[in-house]
Chains A and B, each alone.
Chain A
Amino acid sequence: MRFLLVEDNEELAKALSDRFALDGHVVDHAPNLGDAELRTRTVAYDLILLDIMLPDGDGREFLRSHRINADSTPVIVLTARSEVSDRVGLLDLGADDYITKPFDFSELEARSRAVLRRLGGAANNSKEFGGVVFDSTAGQITFNGHSEALRNRELRLLEIFFNAPGKIFSKSYLMDRLFSFQDDVSENAIEVYIGRLRRKLQDSPVTIETVRGVGYHMTQKT
């Protein structure tokens, strides 16, 4: 996905960009409102992440003009405040959701997904590999004219494989993507979810294989 990050704190913006890159997302950084407006005019983003306190104005102004211009790109506000009235005000101004700094990336992903799903989904949100169509917005896989619904963790796990078919992912990498830092789970927990995906892909031309000592990858059945 392609994000626009409107954030004046350079260190945070850099850290966020690095973090998003780890999950394969592309992030453009706008340090102020003027820059953000220029970029939204020229590039189509999947999602805008907007800080409220910016050097050349209030992020709420950007939200207002964004909505007046009937721009449908979803906006998630990054706020440092936690007072509910503030949040409610943001939603009234047209933010699709908000998240309080500092945030868990999996929560941000979940919120982005919820926003995109609510807006009817981006057109290019389904991916195809070996005859299996994976639709992250609808949360299902389709093969041989048959659909299987996926639970959230199954969906997030399968999305990793569909984003890089054939690539081998280590257990610890998958753990990081699947569980939050608050969850106390052993590495074996990932096997439970791999097992479930294998059962759901049982009758499809695709499977997830164990690469002994390294991790897992998605591949076509031979």
Chain B
Amino acid sequence: MSVLKPTGSIRRRLVIQLAIIAALLSLAFFFTVRFVAEQAATDTQDNILAASATSIADAVYSEGGAVRLELPYSALSMLGTISEDRVFYRVIVDGETLTGYEDLPINEARNASRTPLFETMEYRGDNVRTATVSRTLSVGNQSRTVLVVVGQTRLGLAAISTRITTTATAVGVGFFLFATALSAFAAQNALSPLNKLAESVARRGPNDLRPVVATTPTELVPLVSGLNSFMRRLRDALNRSEDLIAEAAHRIRTPLATVRTQAEVIHRQMERPKNRNSVREMIRAVDESSRSAGQLLDHAMVTFRSDQLETQDIDPKELLHEVVDRLSPTAELKDIQIDLQLPNNDFSISGDPILLQNAARNILDNAIKYSPGETEIVVRLIPSDTCRIDFIDQGRGFADADIRNLTKRFSRGTNVNDIVGSGLGLTIADDVARAHGGKLVIGTNDNGVGACVSLVLPLS
């Protein structure tokens, strides 16, 4: 079970932030391009309008006391170079229209200048840009004011503007997508040392608490040194707790051994059966407490190692040989024969040898403990699609009602109250089997007498 709650990835956050910046830049680019381009188009139209108006104004002359105009063709044709827009003009002399569209509006207030005056207005249902220039003309001894207004619809300009907008949009979107892709790549690249570090830590075995020694970017140095210092403290703590367990076991078991030995000496020297029984009970109590302490330590060790299982290939035949050799002297004390039945072919299982040995030892130890003297225990290894190890004894077996509960911690059969036990042996074996993806099967010997406990493990 993981206690980590991921709150979003740094990479995603980085990419999103960079994408937002890219989007803002794209928008700014889009508006700038559109503004500048439209301005340039407007300026171009204005310049042509101004040139046209000026050239018409220049073509006004006086003849015989009248004002005349020979409209230069080029003045209007130059407007056609921009687009197919409609063109309007009006020439006014002292407020009277000389020629052109009489309804073309005019700004009379600002007419005494040769500097063109530009305006945008609605005229005949269209948006029209006009340039107005004025000129003073001497007619006889009179000074007459000539106003020339040239206008042009803005449809062409709108088309240019649309084209510019489309192009600017395409470029903006393209820039945004490209920048986002680059950000994703950059984020990936920037985070790769972090990923490498995570990988190198994750690849480690559970007991590998050596410091991380790798070239690290400056930003990761605090993290790596924090990690290393944590691992150092963890290693120290583990060593300390291991020392503590060893020390505690030593401190508890040594006085227990003294008590037990002295009790045995006293027991030997006692004559009265009542006293002998009392001392005997004392010795049994010492045995019970030391056995419980041992199995509690074993169980703690099994739990610890099962959580972080480190497996290797194991020859189950060799493992059983070792366990049987180890327990044979105990069995011999009761004249119990251990019959080890092994197949001829070689095969292996994958697991933690210390855990598997512990499980097998606990099961066999139980079998010896509950078997009457001068009987036989069969330890049988049956490889098929799994590796099954049967431990078959001729003891009192299991009461049916107990079988389900026997693998629970401190649970013991109802028919064994007269024998010292902690109720942890089968729990340990069951935990080990489960940790290896196998199971512990508790049943009755085929002959109906005694127990058959099977350790079933997957083949490697």
Contacts and interface: CB of A to CB of B under 8 A. Distances in A.
Interface of A: 9, 11-12, 15-16, 18-19, 22, 53, 78, 80-85, 88, 100-107, 110-111, 113-114, 151-153, 172-173, 176, 180-184
A7 B261 CA distance: 14
Interface residues of B, number: 49
A82 B249 contact: yes
A101 B291 CA distance: 10
Interface string B95-121: 000000000000000000000000000
- Main secondary structure, interface of A, reads helix
Given A12-B255, A114-B332, 4 more contacts: A9-B258, A82-B294, A102-B256, A181-B284
30 contacts: A12-B254, A15-B261, A18-B261, A19-B261, A19-B264, A80-B252, A80-B254, A81-B245, A83-B297, A85-B354, A88-B357, A100-B253, A100-B290, A100-B294, A101-B253, A101-B254, A102-B253, A102-B258, A102-B259, A102-B261, A102-B286, A114-B329, A151-B374, A152-B332, A152-B334, A153-B373, A180-B333, A181-B280, A182-B369, A182-B420
B280 A110 contact: no
B254 A107 contact: no
A81 B250 contact: yes
A12 B262 CA distance: 8
A152 B335 contact: yes
B191 interface: no
A107 B287 CA distance: 13
Q: Which 6 A-B pairs have the closest CB atoms?
A: A102-B257, A15-B261, A110-B329, A80-B250, A82-B294, A80-B253
Nearest to A16: B261
Contacts of A11: 255, 258
B193 to A, nearest CB: 37
A105 B329 CA distance: 12
Contacts of B246: 53, 80-81
B335 A153 contact: yes
A172 B252 CA distance: 31
Given A12-B258, A181-B284, A110 B268 contact: no
B257 A103 contact: yes
